Amino acid sequence: MKIEITPGVLTEYRNENGPVKITIAENAIYFSLACSKLLAMQPGYAFVLEFEDGNLYYKDATDGFTVSPAGKHHVMKAYVKDIAKYISQFLKEKSTTYFFSVGELKMGRRMLTMISGKKRKA
């Protein structure tokens, strides 16, 4: 069987098999392409974050932060001023950027598990 590997094929592969990841930066929340696909995100889609018992959760909402496409790859992004600074109050790690993997849907929300964070510069 012949398989032709092209840039388009690799892009499609990355979009479908990339990490299901949410990045919380200083002033925005970014959703990987795989994450956007899993959550069926479209421009104007709304969500909230919840913190409970030491865990951060993602939850669909009718009234919350809204996303729009950003960058040349059109990843979904929500502009949220000072979000990383606010989130750092609840997490044990002080960072300017946090990376989370997205868990299974349980009880209407998805647990976010921290992968890593970029340290604040002194």
Q: pLDDT digits over 84-100, tens only?
A: 999 988 887 788 899 99
pTM: 0.81
The confidence band for 122, taking pLDDT boundaries of 50, 70 and 90, is: very low
pLDDT in tens, 20-53: 899 999 999 999 988 998 899 999 999 999 999 9
The pLDDT, as a whole number, for residue 79 is: 95
- pLDDT, mean over the chain: 87
Determine whether 108 is exposed, middle or buried from the number of CB atoms within 10 Å of its CB (0-12, 13-18, 19+). Answer: exposed
